[in-house]
Structure 1
Amino acid sequence: MSGDTGGLDLAGRRGVITGGGRGIGRAIALRLAERGGDLLLVGRDRGTLEATAEDLRAAGGTARALSVDLTDPAAPVRVVEAALEGGGLDLLVNNAGNVRAGRLDAIGADDVRAMVDLNLTAAILTTQAALPALRAADRGGVVLSISSGIGLVPLPFYSVYAATKTGLAGFGHALRRELAGTRVHVATAYPGATDTDMMTSSRAGESLGFGRRPVDDVVDDLLAALERGEHEINTSLPTRRRMQELHRDDPLAVDAALAPRLAEMEEAVRGHSSIAPLPGGAGPRSRA
């Protein structure tokens, strides 16, 4: 996937990165800090955010942390206001997300809502709140949303997660077309399985199409593609790319290929979850 429209300068961007304390979000933040970025890291875990902000400052960037529940209806406006108070906003990275794998009838309603609310709704509403500033940015704005390889090939036992990530992909396509002729660059990234905390509870590996790439390699490829001006950025390994091509051309052939190994896959991903309960049993939260 390319859609190259010319180079994009990421140096010195003033940006918001949701889920910026861990995993892909942290790695993106570090790379942007090395380019002199002025970044607001947003997430639930204040300690992780503050530690990452210190690392960003050491890497040459400017960084602040904002601890907020992105599923709170007031959060998107609060995030954008905090970014503007810090000096401006010309980059938004919608990275925060969570996952719980398993058969649909074994996933609780709270976990369904946790995935939909954070992975999709929060990203849409945060983008909506940020758009006026992104449109007005002197250098033009950038919206980068982190979907998933599962957004390209929805896999069994990830039905809700797949719905959120294909939804995020569709949001990116529609918004890119809606903003044609403006100076806002809309991009969506599709990482395959990546070696982050979010994947530690999964036992699925390369033989099941879940070969993991180091997070730094994924983010280096992602940002290089973004700097080339690409809109659709695929960082999956060849095994998953072959499945993506087959899904595009013959979806039922993917069904047939997966069917003999469904029991093995279900067992391997049974415990895959990044959703942890809130203190006091107040429902789920994301560790992403």
Structure 2
Amino acid sequence: MDLTDRSGIITGAGSGIGRELAVQLATRGASLLLVGRRQDALNETAELVTAAGGIAHVFVADVTGEKAPEAIFEQARDQLDTVDLLINNAGNVRAGRLEDTDPADIRAMVDLNLTAPILLTRAALPELRRAASARRALVVTISSGIALVNLPFYTTYAATKTGVAAFGHALRRELHGTGVHVATVYPGATATAMMDSSHAGEALGFGRRTTADVVTDVLAALERDEHEINTALPSRRRLQELHATAPLEVDAALAPQLADLEAAVRSHRSI
């Protein structure tokens, strides 16, 4: 996969993994439409992109809006010569016991983490297919390590991130042979603003990696043509492997930590 001179869309580009993806792609000559809800944050990312050698256009939008997918894509088509890259990165989280979770927070996670990337990909696919006639196009969706081991107190978040991972599998098979490469990323805990309200650390399996390290790994994996990209630390990967083969053993392994985990993540919210 050649990542030089890519032209496309990044959602959630105002901070965290989205910002770092924009900057590292800019060093490869990217032209990007940066999408997010906060003008000031997007402008900061745009300055970093320009300084790194890329071209940045800013579009303020709530990607969950009814007309947002079409509006975002139309903006991309107006600002960019082509669209051969779509990165579905925007996401949110609300942790805690399911019965204590506000229904509005549940709907917000479903809308942003699952429905929005599906609809934006749908809107962009015709142009991605056309772009793939010249060179391979790329759809990247940021899921979560919690899709690989579904953790207590993240019930809805786990459902949305597992759902968007399944979307990636199905879309990859649907687009087989078209030249559109579909990749799903499973970040472990990453040192972003989204994680600031969580007090869970390495002892509970939430050791954080820097955004720079995570994104460097993601882009290297894409250049190797990988479709499933896991950036979790080794301690979390062991639990992921156990979940895949013996999920009830994960229940037993987590049981002694349940009270500590609930206390540590009760305040984890980015909505």
TM-score by structure 1 length? Answer: 0.92
Pick one of 176, 179, 184 that aligns with 1:180: 176
User: Is residue 261 of structure 1 aligned with residue 235 of structure 2?
Assistant: no
User: Is residue 20 of structure 1 aligned with residue 8 of structure 2?
Assistant: no
1:50-65 superposed matches below 5 A: 50-65=43-58
1:28-107 superposed matches below 5 A: 28-86=21-79, 87-107=81-101
Offset of residue 83 of structure 1:
0.7
The one-letter code matched in structure 2 to 1:20 is A
The one-letter code matched in structure 1 to 2:111 is D
Give the superposed CA RMSD.
0.6
Q: What is the count of residue pairs matched by the alignment?
A: 268
User: Is residue 142 of structure 1 aligned with residue 154 of structure 2?
Assistant: no
Match of 1:250 in 2: 246
Q: Report which structure shows greater RCO (CA 8 Å, sep ≥6).
A: 1
The alignment partner of 1:266 has SS state of helix
Distance 1:190 1:33 in 2: 22
Offset of residue 21 of structure 1:
1.0
Deviations 1:189-248 (CA, angstroms, capped at 9, x unpaired): 000000010001000011111110111000000110001100000000001000000001
User: Is residue 110 of structure 1 aligned with residue 97 of structure 2?
Assistant: no
Deviations 1:6-42 (CA, angstroms, capped at 9, x unpaired): xx00100001000011000000000000100000000
Identity of aligned residues (%): 64
Offset of residue 260 of structure 1:
1.1
Match of 1:209 in 2: 205
Distance 2:136 2:212 in 1: 27
Match of 1:151 in 2: 147
Distance 2:136 2:126 in 1: 11
Pick one of 219, 228, 251 that aligns with 2:215: 219
Distance 2:262 2:86 in 1: 35
Runs (4+) of structure 1 moved beyond 6 Å?
none
Offset of residue 140 of structure 1:
2.4
The alignment partner of 2:19 has SS state of helix
Unaligned 5+ segments in structure 1 are: 1-7, 276-288
TM-score by structure 2 length? Answer: 0.98
Distance 1:207 1:85 in 2: 48
Unaligned 5+ segments in structure 2 are: none
The one-letter code matched in structure 1 to 2:160 is T
The alignment partner of 1:210 has SS state of coil
Distance 2:211 2:6 in 1: 21
